[in-house]
């Protein structure tokens, strides 16, 4: 049995630990591991090679993905999907482990509806926005990268008595911003999932400033598109000199945390075992309530992720 693994979409810390565990575990099971380089584009172009232990030696501490990743417009074309499937068959690959987010899952659902492709998805995105799982590879590292940056920004904000608006990634999901705001004690948080109560926040901040508050920290999710609006509001209505920091792609890099490494191991072992036990499988693994669970890919793709209620509840103090 030959099994392959690929990374698709945005990179996430934890992908390299997953790649190492994939090679180690597949060989341990007496089977042959393959790497699909450069994601969906590499699968179309046949950039597929057998992996060995030396390929993954010493990669646990590295962010990114040694086999590359991509987004692929060509994959929308059925002819290219057929070409990708034929490339898998050339190597007698019977199953694929997919490290990616919802775009990757959708791509493989379409492919598997057209061709007999078995696959198991491992949620891998710092956005943490995949339905059916509370945890995606990369989110813990991203949160720690953001936390470090915000802590440093707070030092400057308090020294110069300024307001800082920090924009986080996450597309249309505010998970990174919400958790960062709670963990950093931010005074303001704006996420797509909640209406930002500007009037209440203004009243609250003015009272605190009157009682000695010297600085303000605002965490804004990119999906709100409110970064400049909140900067202007803090300057004009709150009366504080305000700076904006867009963290950008720094959030997607960095040495994977211990949790992301261990979660990568656990996700990958389960994915390989599922592929070896099932002749037909189109599933994704999720992590909920402290346990790993599997879901049919169609259910995952049809669902909509929600930030946990306890996080949204705790954010209400920022209203």
Q: If you average pLDDT over every residue of the chain, what do you get?
A: 95
CB distance 221 to 176 below 8 Å: yes
CATH 3.40.50.450 fits 2-138+256-305, yes or no: yes
pLDDT cut 70: percent of the chain above it:
99
DSSP state of 137: B
The predicted-structure confidence for 71-85, as pLDDT tens digits, reads as follows: 899 999 999 999 999
The number of beta carbons lying within 10 Å of the beta carbon of residue 156 is: 13
H or E element in which residue 165 lies: strand 163-168
What is residue 1's predicted lDDT score, i.e. its pLDDT? 85
Backbone angles phi, psi at 303, to 5 degrees: -85, 170
The predicted-structure confidence for 211-240, as pLDDT tens digits, reads as follows: 999 999 999 999 999 999 999 999 999 999
What is residue 293's predicted lDDT score, i.e. its pLDDT? 96
**pLDDT band, residue 319 (cuts 50/70/90):** low
Per DSSP bridges, beta strands 48-50 and 32-36 are antiparallel
CATH 3.40.50.460 fits 140-252, yes or no: yes
Tell me which residues are annotated as active site. 127
Length of the chain, please?
319
In this predicted structure, the answer to whether residue 317 has a pLDDT above a threshold of 70 is no
What is residue 318's predicted lDDT score, i.e. its pLDDT? 59
What is residue 244's predicted lDDT score, i.e. its pLDDT? 97
Domain ranges of the chain: 2-138+256-305, 140-252
Average pLDDT over residues 100-105: 94
The predicted-structure confidence for 147-159, as pLDDT tens digits, reads as follows: 999 999 999 999 9
Cβ-count burial of 276 within 10 angstroms (0-12 exposed, 13-18 middle, 19+ buried)?
Answer: middle
What is residue 81's predicted lDDT score, i.e. its pLDDT? 97
DSSP state of 257: P
Cβ-count burial of 266 within 10 angstroms (0-12 exposed, 13-18 middle, 19+ buried)?
Answer: middle
The predicted-structure confidence for 140-190, as pLDDT tens digits, reads as follows: 999 999 999 999 999 999 999 899 999 999 999 999 999 999 999 999 999
Does 2-138+256-305 match 140-252 in CATH topology? yes
What is residue 315's predicted lDDT score, i.e. its pLDDT? 86
**pLDDT band, residue 316 (cuts 50/70/90):** confident
What is residue 163's predicted lDDT score, i.e. its pLDDT? 95
The predicted-structure confidence for 251-308, as pLDDT tens digits, reads as follows: 999 999 999 999 999 999 999 999 999 989 999 999 999 999 999 999 999 999 999 9
Question: Scanning the structure block, which residue is given the tokens 């934890």?
Answer: 14
DSSP state of 124: B
């Amino acid at each position: 049995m030959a099994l392959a693994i690929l990374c698709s979409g945005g990179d996430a810390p934890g992908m390299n630990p997953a790649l190492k565990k994939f090679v180690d575990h597949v060989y341990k099971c007496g089977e042959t591991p393959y790497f699909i380089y450069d994601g969906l584009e590499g699968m179309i172009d046949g950039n597929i090679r057998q992996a060995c232990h030396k390929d993954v030696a010493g990669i646990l501490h590295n962010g990114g993905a040694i086999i590359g990743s991509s987004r692929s417009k060509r994959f929308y074309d059925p002819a290219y999907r057929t070409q990708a499937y034929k490339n898998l068959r050339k190597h007698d690959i019977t199953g694929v482990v997919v490290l990616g987010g919802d775009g990757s899952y959708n791509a493989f659902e379409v492919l598997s509806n057209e061709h007999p492709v078995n696959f198991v998805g491992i949620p891998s995105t710092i956005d943490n926005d995949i339905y059916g799982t509370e945890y995606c590879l990369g989110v813990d590292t991203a949160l720690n990268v953001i936390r470090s940056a915000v802590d440093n920004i707070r030092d400057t904000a308090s020294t110069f008595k300024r307001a800082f608006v920090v924009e986080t990634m996450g597309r249309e999901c505010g998970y990174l911003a919400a958790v960062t705001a709670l963990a950093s004690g931010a005074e303001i948080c704006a996420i797509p999932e909640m209406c930002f109560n500007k009037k209440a926040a203004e009243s609250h901040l003015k009272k605190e400033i009157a009682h000695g508050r010297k600085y303000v920290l605002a965490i804004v999710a990119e999906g709100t598109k409110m970064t400049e609006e909140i900067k202007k509001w803090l300057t004009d209505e709150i009366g504080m000199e305000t700076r904006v920091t867009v963290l950008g792609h720094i959030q997607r890099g960095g040495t994977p945390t211990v949790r992301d490494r261990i979660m990568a191991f656990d996700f990958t072992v389960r994915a390989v075992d599922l592929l070896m036990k099932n002749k037909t499988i189109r599933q994704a693994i999720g992590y909920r309530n402290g346990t790993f669970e599997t879901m049919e890919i169609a259910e995952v793709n049809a669902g909509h992720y929600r930030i946990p209620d306890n996080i949204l509840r705790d954010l209400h103090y920022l209203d």
